[in-house]
């Protein structure tokens, strides 16, 4: 089984709809991250969480919210989707040990907002 | 603003050659650097991490870090067509977050 899973893998929705993307991990990592990737813009950090009680905004948090339901689960919500939120979304996890902060990515969710 | 710069490419090399991918970064205080490989439509996969000046080798891959010049590189020896992908350079940018470059596309021709 994959260590980091994301659901759904593909989603098409309409402008104004609320949508939730879910991420689960079995790696036992404390830290979880949400990124979006757009052609020509690279990976950009949306939100990150170091434990269930810790939520932090990233570079591009406007229009998004998150929930850390458990150590293993981190969800990203778009309250009212708009077309420029069409992108590839990735969840990642990491476990800080010494100097290491290697992040491991889920398979991604391709989101299209019409 | 913390930035990571990469040439977008494509970098084209013949099979069996050495591919050299380069990255510069803006934050002199960054301590940790990472190379990811990403196939089209897939998720980034960690290849190498490097924290100290000098070279770090893992199989066909060698990462090089020069903190004085704020420069990180990845060498791929004996390049294979299966190495064709986009390579992302990333630096740790505080609070255990990463800043990614936009990636360099590598094409290895048979």
pLDDT of A84: 95
Q: What is the mean pLDDT of chain A?
A: 93
Cβ–Cβ gap B98/A41 under 8 Å: no
Q: How confident is the model at residue B81 (pLDDT cuts 50, 70, 90)?
A: very high
Cβ–Cβ gap B42/A33 under 8 Å: no
CA A80, CA B85: separation in Å to the nearest integer?
34
- Per CB-CB distance under 8 Å, the chain A contacts of B103 are 42
Mean pLDDT value across residues B7-24? 95
- Per CB-CB distance under 8 Å, the chain A contacts of B63 are none
For residue A42, the distance in angstroms to the closest alpha carbon of chain B comes to 4
- Per CB-CB distance under 8 Å, the chain A contacts of B101 are 42
Chain CA centroid to CA B106, Å: 11
Q: How confident is the model at residue A100 (pLDDT cuts 50, 70, 90)?
A: low
Mean pLDDT value across residues B70-95? 95
pLDDT of B48: 93
Q: Which residue has the higher pLDDT, A20 or B2?
A: A20
pLDDT at A96 over 90: no
Q: How confident is the model at residue A39 (pLDDT cuts 50, 70, 90)?
A: confident
CA A72, CA A33: separation in Å to the nearest integer?
12
- Per CB-CB distance under 8 Å, the chain A contacts of B102 are 40-42
pLDDT at A55 over 70: yes
Q: What is the mean pLDDT of chain B?
A: 94
**Minimal Cβ distance to A43: which of B46, B92, B100:** B100
**Minimal Cβ distance to A41: which of B46, B97, B102:** B102
Count of C-beta atoms within a 10 Å radius of residue B94: 12
Q: Which long-range contacts (CB under 8 A, 24 or more apart) does A36-39 make?
A: A36/A60, A36/A85, A36/A87, A36/A88, A36/A89, A36/A90, A37/A87, A37/A88, A37/A89, A37/A90, A37/A108, A38/A87, A38/A88
Contacting A residues, span 1-30, partner chain B, CB-CB under 8 Å: none
């Amino acid at each position: 089984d994959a260590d980091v899973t994301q659901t759904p893998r593909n989603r098409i929705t309409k402008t104004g709809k609320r949508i939730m993307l879910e991420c689960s991990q079995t790696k036992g990592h404390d830290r979880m991250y949400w990124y979006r990737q757009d052609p020509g813009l690279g990976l950009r950090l949306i939100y990150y969480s170091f434990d269930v009680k810790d939520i932090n905004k990233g570079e591009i948090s406007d229009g998004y919210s998150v929930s850390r339901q458990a150590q293993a689960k981190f969800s990203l919500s778009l309250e009212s989707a708009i077309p420029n939120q069409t992108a590839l979304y990735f969840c990642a996890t990491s476990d800080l040990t010494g100097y290491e902060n290697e992040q491991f990515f889920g398979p991604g969710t391709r989101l299209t907002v019409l | 603003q913390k930035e990571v710069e990469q040439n977008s490419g494509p970098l084209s090399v013949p099979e069996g050659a050495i591919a050299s991918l380069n990255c510069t970064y803006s934050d002199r205080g960054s301590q940790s650097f990472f190379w990811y490989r990403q196939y089209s439509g897939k998720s980034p996969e960690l290849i190498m991490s490097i924290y100290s000046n000098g070279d770090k080798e893992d199989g066909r891959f060698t990462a090089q870090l020069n903190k004085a010049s704020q420069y990180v590189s990845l060498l791929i020896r004996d390049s294979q067509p299966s190495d064709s992908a986009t390579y992302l350079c990333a630096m740790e940018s505080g609070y255990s977050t990463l800043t990614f470059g936009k990636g360099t596309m590598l094409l290895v021709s048979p």
